[in-house]
Structure 1
Amino acid sequence: MTRAASLTTALPMAITQGDPAGIGPEIIVQAFRDAPADLAGAFVVGDVATLRRAAQAVVRPGAPAVPVAQIDAPADALRVPPRCVPVLQLPGIPGPQPWGRVSAEAGRAAADCVAWAARAALRGEISAMVTAPLHKEALAAAGVAFPGHTELLQAEAAAHQGLAVDAVPVRMMLASDELRTVLVSIHVALRDAIDAVTRGNVLQTVEIAHAALLRSLGRPPRIAVAGLNPHAGEGGLFGREEATHIAPAVAAARALGMDVHGPMAPDTVFMRARHAPGHPGEFDVVIAMYHDQGLIPVKYLGVDKGVNVTLGLPLVRTSPDHGTAFDIAGRGEADASSLIEAVRVARQLSA
């Protein structure tokens, strides 16, 4: 099938602009410029002037600026030529914001773009959504009630289905070619994350990860569950959470027929799960007990290839695994590799 024929039968994909003061708009423009085949049929939800400023920021010496075109509807993206950035102008959001500065205006713009894309995906108007980085402090300054993408999308999905938020459990998965990890808790203080390590939460995380990877891998995934404490508690010497919460959750998952192992020492389980050249990992995913326990190993292996995937939603959402990088915003130095990989993963998941 030709590119033109395939696009006429496909739904477009939305990419949210992210915080306009950060690197999101820049890496979006770079992605359209450098990976036109991957970005075919995608469009940006955001502000045209913000994307045009970003296009100027990433101009290469001796090369023309990447064109940015305003579109009137998502379907128009299917007819935009390669290396042109189609932008659906979202009414009411502000234009370009000062580079690298936290502001309520930027936070509100980022949140509004995410909400628009989520609703379009829930209505079946787009195939998937890829979210450029937003800034959690800017979200808070704008009065947004959610600390990040995951929680905002969970609320949108619950509202669409007429359900309470707790009735739509979601989890964050960070994935690369070498390692996948799914988190029991996400954006909470460490003290609260420890309290979130309960039998019910751990079992629910395993179930969500199992269901998602069963679909994407086409086979039952091999799941490792990390402990919370050093040495996974060392038989209760360093904490009782493994014995009272994590091990019972693992046993319950195994009773349901899942290939689950643990709790395992958190300082070695990620090495055992890592897929490296000539060294296939023992597991397809590691269930981590809290944010940094799971994200540090994946990001250390290569932030340019990591992809954030929200599991449990009735839509496909991926994101690069880095933040807004205010310190380099506007310089044209940001690397679009993780965003391009997020687009690729979104296409795979929505196929």
Structure 2
Amino acid sequence: MHAHKFLNISSIIFISLVVYQIIRQLYAPYWEEISGISYGVITGKPEWLAYQNRLLGPYLIYLISLLGISYISAYKVFVLLSILVQSFTLVVLLKNIGETYQSSINYLIIYSFMYIALQEYSFYSWDNIDAVLFMFFVWGILRSVSPLLFIPLFLVSIFNRESALFIGIYLIIDAFNIEINKSKRINIQLKSVKELILGIILLILGIAYTNLIRELLFISRANGFPDEQHMILGNHFNLEKNLFDLFYENFISMHSANSLFIFGSIGYLLYFVRQYSQPQLKAFIIFICLVLNILVFGIIHETRLYVVLLPFLIFLHQNIKKVSSANRFS
């Protein structure tokens, strides 16, 4: 028993180290640049105003650097640790929902492959933390955990990135019963006023906190100039350009995989939508919200933004597979 457990833990560590070595080589020309962007959050001079509230990762790296190493070296240590945490978190959560160690490690290999495939030229500390937090997020959705348990997750997430707002959005959605009947009509009925209010409160607090931190801590962009382009919304607005790239430009360029990933993942999850339980349906709705967020506020070619989608794909696929197996033998 102990030998088997040791082998499983060793496998997780080995996979994580392989992923880290690949990441380390991929970003060899960019370590100084991406660590500088992270450090800019600490100094109040990030690359963009939108980065200023993303405090958790940069300060964790700073704490590591207090061990007597440079911020760049601390960044590499942080990446290694975050990959290890992602790997162990994924396996533990999959085990929690009924997977064996072997099948959980198989899912980890698939996740690691997709994680590597999404790397390009920029991958920041908050992206790695988001990967872990969203594993807990989608696990909590599919396990229908108490809404109160999402509060600590929100409090940690909001220090990392404004993507924590999706926790508030989920609680608003979860306050309703949502069903697709046999005639393909969607029935929506309020089930919890308290959860609805909680979701609205977290959403308002998250937006207020994000704007306040940006206003208090932001001095200028890294180049010394103000970020006047984003002073109103505090973020990019790229919907028109992203839609053009998604439906046309990507297919005549080297970015066709981006469109295929988005269309393929949505198509796969949508194919099974009529089989979804309420938790699965709500997880799928959040997945769609995340994709829309990328299209509206992100840059579709920045594939690091897709990392938060991976936990949803892994856990929803696991749920779909489980339901399909149950139906086959029923």
TM-score calculated relative to the size of structure 2: 0.30
TM-score by length of structure 1 reads 0.29
Structure with higher strand content: 1
